[in-house]
């Protein structure tokens, strides 16, 4: 069984966990840049989902936060919709977990904004693949991997 965990932001990632092999493969969110703006690439997401063929997906469920700009929240919603639409087009059953839920289940210690805590916890949970979470910018990878972990132990 291949389980996909998704941190849906532009700095997010997709983590594919093969339950039979007990191995995780993490890919940064496929983005393209146009006119100095980044967007999730529908084409690259389709190619990735088609090639990996997950059995189930779990997406982090985010909502608008105070003091976030209208444009950034709209763009985030568009990206979230792209991910949901691609998964639906491949008939991948999709579930959602709030950040509070998956962080609690995955036992991430530290404040919600502490991305280093996610990276450290992902290295502990997936020691054989800890190199995938070694850089500060790998927080999206760590979050996606921990979403899978939380889904498995819920």
User: What is the third-level CATH fold of 2-153?
Assistant: Nucleotidyltransferase; domain 5 (3.30.420)
Geometric angle at alpha carbon 59, from 121 and 38, rounded to 5°: 95
Contact 143, 60 (CB under 8 A): yes
- Indicate whether this model's pTM tops 0.85: yes
Question: Over the stretch 10-39, which tens digit does the pLDDT of each residue have?
Answer: 999 999 999 999 999 999 999 999 888 899
Write phi, then psi, for 150 (nearest 5 degrees): -60, -40
Q: Which residues contact 93 (CB under 8 A, 6 or more apart)?
A: 55, 56, 57
Query: What average pLDDT does range 126-142 have in this prediction?
Result: 95
Contact 13, 27 (CB under 8 A): yes
Domain spans in the chain, listed from the N-terminal domain onward: 2-153
């Amino acid at each position: 069984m291949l389980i996909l965990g998704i941190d849906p932001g532009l700095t997010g990632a997709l983590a594919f966990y093969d339950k039979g092999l007990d191995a995780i493969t993490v890919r940064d969110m496929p983005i393209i840049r146009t006119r100095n703006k980044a967007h999730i690439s529908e084409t690259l997401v389709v190619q990735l989902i088609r090639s990996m063929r997950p059995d189930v997906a779990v997406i982090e469920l985010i909502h608008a936060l105070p003091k976030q700009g209208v444009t950034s929240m709209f763009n985030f919603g568009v990206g979230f919709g792209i991910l949901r639409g691609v998964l639906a087009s491949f008939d991948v059953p999709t579930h959602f977990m709030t950040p509070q839920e998956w962080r609690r289940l995955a036992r991430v210690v530290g404040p919600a904004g502490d991305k280093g805590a996610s990276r450290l916890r992902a290295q502990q949970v997936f020691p054989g693949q800890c190199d995938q979470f070694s850089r500060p910018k790998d927080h999206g990878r760590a979050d996606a991997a921990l979403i899978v972990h939380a889904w498995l132990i819920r």
